[in-house]
């Protein structure tokens, strides 16, 4: 990371302190579609198959083609950036030229799209080891570009990178006020795509719902 970007991040964190405080109080709003209520999430969690994760043998991100064309010169990433941002303006190629993005994971706000990642709420590798290894490439492509469920969200890039492919028993958003929503999103994706959960993951998700 170069010096100018480090300075920009420092200034952003300082100016975002009020937003972070609001998020910690549970007021951060999520933008992905299809987030279930707490009661629905608890019901869906109870219906998931609990079993040990499978192997990552054979896994590659290339087996989950993304970001695909979504029409109007936009790919999936660009669609989510426009959906999750504020006052987003785009060029003829659909790439953002201005706007701002609030990351509910950590409470930071960014004005450069390059500082934002599109997180797969349930990571591709986690999906692979909990059922997606047996899917067709077409199914994995649909999963990696799912705009109908709470699977894709714009967040701070290095926060997303810190998450990696970890499940909620190993990683949670820095803002505890977002844990309830994060669990609701995670559960919905696993329920919709018929993915399994391991016992530690199940317990973590249940505990996060207790914060709703």
Of the pLDDT bands very low, low, confident and very high (cuts 50, 70, 90), residue 2 is very low
Q: Range of 61's domain?
A: 3-29+36-209
Token duo for residue 75: 């790919």
User: Phi then psi for 77, rounded to 5 degrees?
Assistant: -55, -45
What does the pLDDT look like over 174-200, one tens digit per residue?
Answer: 999 999 999 999 999 999 999 999 999
Q: What percent of the chain has pLDDT over 90?
A: 85
Q: What is the mean pLDDT of residues 35-53?
A: 98
Residue 29: the pLDDT is 56
DSSP lists the bridge partners of residue 96 as 90
3-state secondary structure 166-199: CCCCCCCCCCHHHHHHHHHHHHHHHHHCCCCECH
Residue 31: the pLDDT is 81
What does the pLDDT look like over 143-178, one tens digit per residue?
Answer: 999 999 999 999 999 999 999 999 999 999 999 999
Structural domains counted in the chain: 1
Q: What is the mean pLDDT of residues 73-92?
A: 97
Pick the closest to residue 64 from 121, 114, 117, 133 (CA basis).
133
What does the pLDDT look like over 45-56, one tens digit per residue?
Answer: 999 999 999 999
Cα-based distances in Å from 182 to 49, 133, 149: 20, 24, 13
């Amino acid at each position: 990371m170069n010096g100018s970007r480090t300075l920009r991040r420092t200034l952003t964190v300082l100016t975002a302190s009020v937003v972070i405080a609001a998020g910690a109080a549970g007021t951060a709003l999520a933008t992905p579609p299809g987030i279930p209520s707490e009661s629905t999430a608890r019901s869906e969690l109870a219906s998931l198959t609990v079993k040990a994760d499978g192997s990552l043998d054979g896994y590659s991100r290339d087996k989950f083609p993304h970001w695909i064309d979504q029409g109007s010169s936009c790919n999936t990433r660009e669609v989510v950036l426009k959906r999750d941002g504020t006052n987003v303006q785009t060029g003829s190629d659909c790439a953002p030229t201005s706007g701002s993005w609030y990351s509910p994971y950590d409470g930071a706000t960014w004005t450069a799209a390059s500082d934002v990642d599109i997180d797969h709420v349930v990571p591709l590798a986690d999906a692979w080891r909990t059922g997606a290894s047996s899917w067709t490439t077409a199914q994995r492509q649909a999963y990696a570009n799912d705009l109908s469920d709470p699977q894709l969200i714009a967040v701070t890039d290095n926060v997303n990178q810190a998450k990696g492919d970890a499940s909620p028993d190993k990683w949670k958003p820095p803002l505890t006020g977002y844990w309830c929503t994060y669990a609701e999103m995670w559960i919905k994706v696993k329920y919709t795509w018929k993915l399994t959960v391991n016992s530690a993951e199940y317990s973590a998700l249940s505990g996060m719902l207790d914060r709703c």
